[in-house]
């Protein structure tokens, strides 16, 4: 089966949770009305279904291939990328000043999800270009913005992020690549970078590498790293001294080339050392990279939702088709399609509830970013941006962890067929596995949640979210509806667990870091679970505003929300207990005993 974009669900989230109507009243977003959004999503869904999705399995069977320093992408990718950029999809969220559409992040996020559902490997190329654009917008000069951004949006060029080195993964303080000033404002770069997504490919004429490297006089550690632009081919046509030594053989996202890049081998047409230019100020590279990474982290969260949605669609279709065994309740004398069996239903509901919950949270987060960017009031901007930043590690960490669970359930629903590669369910299980690792592992997200987002303000913002959740509990209780009242109780328990954990983290974060960081990932999982559940509960309430002809959608949304509260939220208690147990049992084993 092909991929069908969940447009109805996305529009519901945008209109009823993310406040798209009010975003379209902000300066600069006047065109972003719900009608426009619906039209964009419709078009985007068709494009991804027809052009991008059919290349997904193809990419798994015929991955990008390396030969003599060049990478040939999966057959069809180059043409599809041309259609993608020509359709204006690369510029969706970027400013019209540089050739983009200037749509709010909330709308572009829905489109990004679709692209990733259709083809995770393909989507990484535009995602990295987005990252490069963000970095240039953050720290580039006007001339740099004018030179690079329009060509990244047109897809003439694509972008990369060059952070990792063999000895420097999560720990970028260990970066060793160096940049030597040439006295003419340019630099020569030397070093080896690994895990460079789309670091070499044949889908565009040129590649804009954004590279972390050290200047000769730079201080040690993270405060001595600068950001550089290195073009694969200089604008005068000379081949620069950056080379793809190999690409990795990976568990998943095989079509996406993961390059080892060597800077300064002397094999190009420019002498030895890749010619580059500084972005922003010297020694502030990591800071710029983090701004860009925030956007990329959010996008990886969308990838989690995207692969979960695709896995769900495939599993649901199979479960409705595959006939096996009689119903346990004796409601039929014959074998029935397996969707009728309670445990298959439980698996599908789990997949669906996690996916919808994470989508709702991600789109609400995007809307906070939109208000944070466009609101005329500076205080409102700051408050919304802070709320967005609080949610980014949850969107990234929780959505990607759940995507592995969902993709694994998708295999399970297929039974033996799920283990056969031809079926396709296994590809999602393999593809999803990178998402909790790249752009910062779940532990790195959790460090961010604990350190910058919780301990720094004593848990104030985290508890502000708890207060918002409790308002939803009140609203659910006030309906008097039995299902809603039950949900309110489940939400309350989860929220109280969260509040206990926030208090614990805020209290011990500085005095006893091991105690807090031993539970950082359980805290992230608890917080993500609760926030997605909060949005599902809010969805339940919002279904009451839907017109009569939406009754089927409303019923499905309420059922899924109720399932989330009954089956997913209860995990919070165990996570709370794990966090509150502290570091003792986590750190007790001596290193040599492992």
Q: What is the largest CA-CA distance in the chain?
A: 85
555 near a second copy, judged by CB under 8 A? yes
549 near a second copy, judged by CB under 8 A? no
User: From the CB of 175, what's the least distance to a second copy, in Å?
Assistant: 12
Supply φ then ψ for residue 229, to 5 degrees.
-100, 130
Of the residues 189, 319, 362, 364, which one makes contact with a second copy according to CB under 8 A: 319
233 near a second copy, judged by CB under 8 A? no
25 vs 346, beta carbon nearer a second copy: 346
- Which of helix, strand or coil describes residue 376? coil
Question: Which residues, numbered 35-94, are part of the site for a second copy (CB under 8 A)?
Answer: none
303 near a second copy, judged by CB under 8 A? no
Rounded Cα gap, residues 533 and 161, in angstroms: 34
Rounded Cα gap, residues 582 and 590, in angstroms: 17
Residue 50 CB contacts under 8 Å (≥ 6 apart), including other chains: none
563 near a second copy, judged by CB under 8 A? yes
Of the residues 67, 143, 220, 591, which one makes contact with a second copy according to CB under 8 A: 591
Of the residues 106, 116, 403, 520, which one makes contact with a second copy according to CB under 8 A: 520
Q: Which of 439, 473, 474, 550 is catalytic?
A: 439
151 near a second copy, judged by CB under 8 A? no
Of the residues 325, 332, 460, 478, which one makes contact with a second copy according to CB under 8 A: 325
517 near a second copy, judged by CB under 8 A? yes
Question: Which residues, numbered 471-490, are part of the site for a second copy (CB under 8 A)?
Answer: 490
91 vs 224, beta carbon nearer a second copy: 224
Of the residues 137, 291, 443, 507, which one makes contact with a second copy according to CB under 8 A: 443
Return the DSSP state at 15: I
Write each residue from 333 to 352 as x if it is in contact with a second copy (CB under 8 A), else as -, in one continuous string. --x-x-xxxxxxxx-xx--x
Of the residues 35, 235, 422, 549, which one makes contact with a second copy according to CB under 8 A: 422
Of the residues 83, 138, 154, 412, which one makes contact with a second copy according to CB under 8 A: 412
Of the residues 216, 237, 416, 547, which one makes contact with a second copy according to CB under 8 A: 416
Supply φ then ψ for residue 486, to 5 degrees.
-60, -45
User: From the CB of 469, what's the least distance to a second copy, in Å?
Assistant: 18
Residue 141 CB contacts under 8 Å (≥ 6 apart), including other chains: none
- Residue 240 and residue 231 in contact, taking contact as beta carbons nearer than 8 Å: yes
User: From the CB of 576, what's the least distance to a second copy, in Å?
Assistant: 8
Q: Does the annotation count 439 as an active-site position?
A: yes
User: From the CB of 417, what's the least distance to a second copy, in Å?
Assistant: 8
31 vs 405, beta carbon nearer a second copy: 405
Rounded Cα gap, residues 169 and 306, in angstroms: 26
Of the residues 187, 438, 504, 534, which one makes contact with a second copy according to CB under 8 A: 438
Residue 357 CB contacts under 8 Å (≥ 6 apart), including other chains: 532, 533, 535, 536, 564, 568
420 near a second copy, judged by CB under 8 A? yes
DSSP track, 86-144: HTT-TTTTS-GGGT-----HHHHHHHHHHHHHH-HHHHHHHHHHHHHHHHHHHH--HHH
Rounded Cα gap, residues 500 and 249, in angstroms: 44
At residue 111's C-alpha, the angle toward residues 107 and 112, to 5°, is 110
Q: Which stretch binds a second copy (CB under 8 A): 62-70, 86-94, 358-366, 406-414?
A: 406-414
- The string over 527-559, giving b where at least 16 C-beta atoms fall within 10 Å of a residue's C-beta and e elsewhere, is bbbbbbbbbbbbbbbbbeebeeeeeeebeebbe
**What positions carry a catalytic annotation?**
439
């Amino acid at each position: 089966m092909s991929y069908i974009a969940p447009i109805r669900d996305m529009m519901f989230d945008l209109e009823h949770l993310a406040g798209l109507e009010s975003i379209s009243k902000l300066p600069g977003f006047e065109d972003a009305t719900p009608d426009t959004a619906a039209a964009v999503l419709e078009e985007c869904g068709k494009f991804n279904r027809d052009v991008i999705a059919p290349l997904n399995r193809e990419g798994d069977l015929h991955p990008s291939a390396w030969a003599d320093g060049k990478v040939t992408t999966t057959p069809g990718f180059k043409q599809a990328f041309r259609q993608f950029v020509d359709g204006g999809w690369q510029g969706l969220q970027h400013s019209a000043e540089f050739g983009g559409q200037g749509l709010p992040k909330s709308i572009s996020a829905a489109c990004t999800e679709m692209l990733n559902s259709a083809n995770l490997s393909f989507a990484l190329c535009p995602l990295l270009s987005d990252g490069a654009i963000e970095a240039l917008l953050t720290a580039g000069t006007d001339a740099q913005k004018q030179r690079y951004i329009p060509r990244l949006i047109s897809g003439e060029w694509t972008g990369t992020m060059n952070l990792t080195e063999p000895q420097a993964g999560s720990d970028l303080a260990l970066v060793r690549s160096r940049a030597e000033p040439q006295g003419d404002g340019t630099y020569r770069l030397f070093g080896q970078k690994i895990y460079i997504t789309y670091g070499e490919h044949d889908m565009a004429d040129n590649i804009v590498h954004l590279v972390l490297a050290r200047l000769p006089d730079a201080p040690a550690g993270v405060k001595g790293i600068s950001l550089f632009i290195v073009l694969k081919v200089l604008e005068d046509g000379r081949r620069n001294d950056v080379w793809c030594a190999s690409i990795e053989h990976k568990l998943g996202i095989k079509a996406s080339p993961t390059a080892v890049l060597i800077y300064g081998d002397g094999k190009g047409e420019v002498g030895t050392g890749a010619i580059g230019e500084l972005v922003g100020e010297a020694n502030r590279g990591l800071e710029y990279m983090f701004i860009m990474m925030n956007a990329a982290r959010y996008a990886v969260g969308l990838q989690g939702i995207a692969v979960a949605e695709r896995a769900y669609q495939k599993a649901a279709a199979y479960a409705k088709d595959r006939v096996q065994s009689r119903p346990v309740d004796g409601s039929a004398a014959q074998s029935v399609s397996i969707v009728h069996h309670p445990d298959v239903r439980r698996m599908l509901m789990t997949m669906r509830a996690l996916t919808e919950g994470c989508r709702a949270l991600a789109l609400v987060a995007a809307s906070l970013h939109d208000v944070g960017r466009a609101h005329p009031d500076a205080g409102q901007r700051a408050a919304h941006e802070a709320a967005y930043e609080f949610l980014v590690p949850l969107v990234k960490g929780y959505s990607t962890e759940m995507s592995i669970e969902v993709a694994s359930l998708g295999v399970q629903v297929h039974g033996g067929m799920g283990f056969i590669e031809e079926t396709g369910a296994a590809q999602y299980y393999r593809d999803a596995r990178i998402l909790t690792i790249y752009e910062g592992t779940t532990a790195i997200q959790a460090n961010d949640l604990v350190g910058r987002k919780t301990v720094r303000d004593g848990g104030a913002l985290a508890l502000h979210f708890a207060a918002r959740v409790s308002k939803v509990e009140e609203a659910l209780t006030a309906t008097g509806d039995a299902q809603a009242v039950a949900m309110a109780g489940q939400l309350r328990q989860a929220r109280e667990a969260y509040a206990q954990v926030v208090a614990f983290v805020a209290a011990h974060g500085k005095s006893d870091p091991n105690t807090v960081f031993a539970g950082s990932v359980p805290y992230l999982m608890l917080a993500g679970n609760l926030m997605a559940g909060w949005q599902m509960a809010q969805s339940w309430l919002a279904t009451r505003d839907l017109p009569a002809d939406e009754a089927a959608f409303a019923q499905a949304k309420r059922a899924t929300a109720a399932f989330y509260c009954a089956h997913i939220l209860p995990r919070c208690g165990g996570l709370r207990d794990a966090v509150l147990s502290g570091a003792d049992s986590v750190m007790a084993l001596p290193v040599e005993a492992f």
